[in-house]
Structure 1
Amino acid sequence: MTAPKPLELWLVRHARPLAPEGLCYGRLDLPADAAHTQARAEALARAWQASPADDGPAMAWHSPSARAHALARAAAACGLPHATADARLQEMDFGHWEGQPWDGIARNALDAWAQDFFHHCPGQGESVARLLTRVADALRDGLSQAHACGARRVLWFTHAGVIRAVEVCLRQPGLQPPTSMAARDWPSTVCDFGHWIVHRME
């Protein structure tokens, strides 16, 4: 009996946003640089077409944010599958911190988050615990749908925080979110704007 082929999970970060350096933005709906979006869509299409899984069906989703949706549209125009919006792929919500320079946020407010990294809601927005729960739900749903229809690739157009959350969930049994986490355990690096990470799911 032939073993099932592995499924590829492509996590694509949106292109460079039109925002000043040092700005706090998560749910803030910033547009992305159009030229960079197009260039990264073309690069993604080349990598996608060169993948060993190119001969099989694929499923795609995007964050509803303008910067992620723009890359999804540009990629579809380059031959990638059309993506469906999923609100669970949005970036973390920083509440009233959104749109403020990071160095303008009160030190005691940042310290409060660091002291309770998992449950604290920065800017009265969204906690890391809530981010992980919704991303884990989307991940399990997407992989389940892909397996059900025989897809060999799942493609997400999303954000740095969501990609980090996926990295955390992939280390957990059953893709369940952890029940606690310290700031030091949060992934410290992520792919650059318009780049991607591919995981092979056996």
Structure 2
Amino acid sequence: MKTSLRTGFAALLGFVLLALTAWGQAATLTPADRLLDHIEQATYVAEGHGPRLLYVFFDPNCPYCHSLYQNLRPWVGKGGLQVRWIPVGILTSSSEPKAAAILQAPSPLVALRKNEDDFGFSDDAGGGIAPASRIGAKAQQELAANSALMQSQRIYGVPVLLYRDRSGRGQLLVGGPASPAELRALLDRIK
């Protein structure tokens, strides 16, 4: 009886220690780490190839997102940098239909580029892609998941840049780099 009581107590103590360790690790995670731990829930448009990943939450009508897109042109695909553009529709009434148009396009990358290359030429002076006349169930679910992921960390503005630095820690920047030099420094830190 004493042996089984000791065994049971040891098992319970081991479980408690394991749970406390996991809780302690979860408590030390930053919002960036928590987002990166769930990034597979996001739907994105990949641009460039390579192991160095920069995730960008963007709204198709966001002028700051557009500026970031333009500033990233010389860097995409260079030095193993892949940018994963995560569309959300939060700024204007045409944002969600434009984000859906990008996701529903035969080539989402071509649609993303059209939105950015023609930025400011549409009737609402936002992204240059025509809003989707119908948002399919799949695109609606994808956009809702992308927005929920951002909101899970109480982030409500765009652009949001997310990456792992050379030490493996998650890094998050809301609003984008203030200058080309700051962007280059950020890109140099991506693992």
TM-score by length of 2: 0.29
Higher Cα Rg: structure 1 or 2?
Answer: 2
